[in-house]
């Protein structure tokens, strides 16, 4: 039986080490070594080296686990355990010198998230959770906020940067949120959006065309902090379904889904 508590401690240490490497590279980042994976989809040598270091460490901690990794350092998946990792969530921010980026790691057991770590590199805040163990920022227990309704909520989202076929629908969704909540924010790191919901800084977050490695680490943080996590239809396909809606409470969740649903019908 896997000791999730001990494993979490190992992952936190590794994540902090890799985060320090990323932070050190930010001061003298060589933009000439940047690559384009697709339209507005950037990757740097920092992403690749960070992922390599994460994979090497995680392989030692749980040798039987497979990997779902953004930069493809290792792609073999296992039947029971798989690591889902984003070595640098917020690459565009990093490249432009905007200090909002993170490392995100999750462990999924078959189809259930059991461990998550998100490291806010520039704030030196390491968020972590294991199934049934609560959510923490560094050593402090964290909880979602107690704001009771969407009208008083600060909501995070992301903007589409490729695959623009659903952009008009999404702009309509964002328009509804702008009129229905306290404010709408776009940080550029989905993992931090989720961590900040878990910590009570945001009341909710939603985004589409999102990848598993962007949201898996943060989703369990929200769950363990007492929040709600679903897809846009209120279902459970939020890790691999490419859409996610999270909030601090069932009431706010239903209000958020109610704003999304009219524009997001099949």
Question: Are the C-beta atoms of 251 and 149 separated by less than 8 Å?
Answer: yes
How far is 97 from 221, CA to CA, in rounded Å? 27
70 marked ligand binding residue? yes
Q: Which DSSP symbol is given to 40?
A: T
86 marked ligand binding residue? yes
How far is 79 from 205, CA to CA, in rounded Å? 31
SS3 27: coil
Residue 78 to residues 52, 84, 100, 109, 218: CA-CA distances in angstroms? Answer: 19, 12, 32, 10, 22
How far is 256 from 95, CA to CA, in rounded Å? 32
Strand 204-208 versus strand 183-185 pairing type? unpaired
193 marked ligand binding residue? no
Annotated binding residues for Mg(2+): 70, 86, 88-89, 214
Annotated binding residues: 70, 86, 88-89, 214
């Amino acid at each position: 039986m896997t000791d999730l508590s001990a494993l979490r401690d190992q992952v936190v240490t590794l994540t902090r080490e890799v985060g320090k490497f990323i932070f050190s590279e930010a001061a003298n980042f060589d933009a000439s070594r940047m690559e384009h994976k697709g339209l507005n989809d950037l990757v740097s040598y920092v992403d690749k080296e960070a992922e390599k270091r994460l994979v090497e460490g995680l392989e030692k901690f749980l040798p039987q686990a497979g990997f779902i990794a953004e930069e493809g350092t290792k792609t073999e998946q296992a039947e029971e355990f798989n690591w889902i990792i984003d070595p640098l969530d917020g690459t565009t921010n990093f490249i432009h010198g905007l200090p909002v980026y993170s490392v995100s790691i999750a462990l999924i057991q078959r189809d259930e998230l059991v461990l998550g770590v998100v490291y806010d590199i520039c704030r030196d805040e390491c968020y972590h959770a294991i199934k049934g163990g609560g959510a923490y920022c560094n050593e402090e227990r964290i909880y979602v906020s107690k704001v009771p309704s969407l009208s008083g909520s600060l909501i995070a989202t992301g903007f589409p940067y490729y695959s623009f076929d659903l952009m008009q629908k999404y702009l309509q969704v964002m328009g509804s949120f702008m009129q229905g909540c306290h404010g709408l924010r776009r940080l550029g790191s989905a993992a931090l959006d989720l961590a900040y919901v878990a910590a009570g800084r945001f009341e909710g977050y939603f985004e589409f065309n999102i990848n598993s490695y962007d949201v898996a680490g943060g989703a369990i943080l929200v769950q363990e902090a007492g929040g709600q996590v679903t897809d846009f239809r209120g279902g459970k396909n939020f890790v691999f379904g490419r859409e996610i809606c999270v909030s601090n409470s069932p009431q706010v969740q239903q209000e958020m889904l109610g704003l999304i649903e009219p524009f997001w019908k099949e």
